[in-house]
Chains A and B, each alone.
Chain A
Amino acid sequence: DTEVTQTPKHLVMGMTNKKSLKCEQHMGHRAMYWYKQKAKKPPELMFVYSYEKLSINESVPSRFSPECPNSSLLNLHLHALQPEDSALYLCASSQGQGAIDTGELFFGEGSRLTVL
């Protein structure tokens, strides 16, 4: 079982809905990440939080709004999404801020989002 838990596993939403994806880890990691993965493509980095502060935003549209309420939780708030935003959204955590520091990212199983 993965040590990074993501909910919900599946989400279908309309373009006018507001929804949130949630991620939780209890490994004491201080960095958490959101990745977006389209079908048959590699994951693309969206956001990085380090010590509960946003450290990297990869020019993600404002209809995606991340939030880190505490060191164990990471949310991704969704509003006014487009059908092309349909993808697998992966959360990850690590001890350091980046793969070069920590050597390993721990990934959740993802939330599969469909925007109608």
Chain B
Amino acid sequence: AQKVTQAQTEISVVEKEDVTLDCVYETRDTTYYLFWYKQPPSGELVFLIRRNSFDEQNEISGRYSWNFQKSTSSFNFTITASQVVDSAVYFCASAGSARQLTFGSGTQLTVLP
């Protein structure tokens, strides 16, 4: 079974600050995938990234970057130079042998102007 922990319930930053959202996962599967989804106030979850358990390379996409560390079972997400439009709930999730997503509890990010 998968378990995903997002210890940060709410984070507030001022625009242009960098912010890191933490994600810790637990799994007994040797093959698994990790995800981040964004849920803006409109409701739909928007896919941001997927990483598999064999690829620990960090990834950067514009202002977004992800740090996957198997040694600490973490898959943290950093937004550089945050913007008001980044305000949303961010979910970390995992999928393993059960094939379906297990979501963390989510982190509400508020970026203030």
Chain A: interface size category: 20 to 34
The answer to whether B101 and A105 touch across the interface, beta carbons within 8 angstroms, is yes
Q: Which of A13-21, A42-50, A65-73, A77-85 contacts B (4 or more CB under 8 A)?
A: A42-50
- A42-B106, A45-B101, A56-B100 known; A100+B44 contact, CB < 8 A: no
Q: Mark B34-71, 1 if CB is under 8 A from A, else 0.
A: 01010000111111001000000000000000000000
A42's partner among B31, B32, B103 (CB-CB below 8 A) is: B103
The answer to whether B43 and A99 touch across the interface, beta carbons within 8 angstroms, is no
Interface contact tally, CB-CB below 8 A: 63
The answer to whether B44 and A108 touch across the interface, beta carbons within 8 angstroms, is yes
Check: B99 CB closer than 8 A to any chain A CB: yes
B105's partner among A2, A4, A42, A109 (CB-CB below 8 A) is: A42
A-contacting residues of B (Cβ < 8 Å)?
31-33, 35, 37, 42-47, 50, 91, 93, 95-96, 98-101, 103-106
B-contacting residues of A (Cβ < 8 Å)?
2, 4, 40-43, 45, 48, 56, 88, 90, 92, 97-101, 103-110, 112
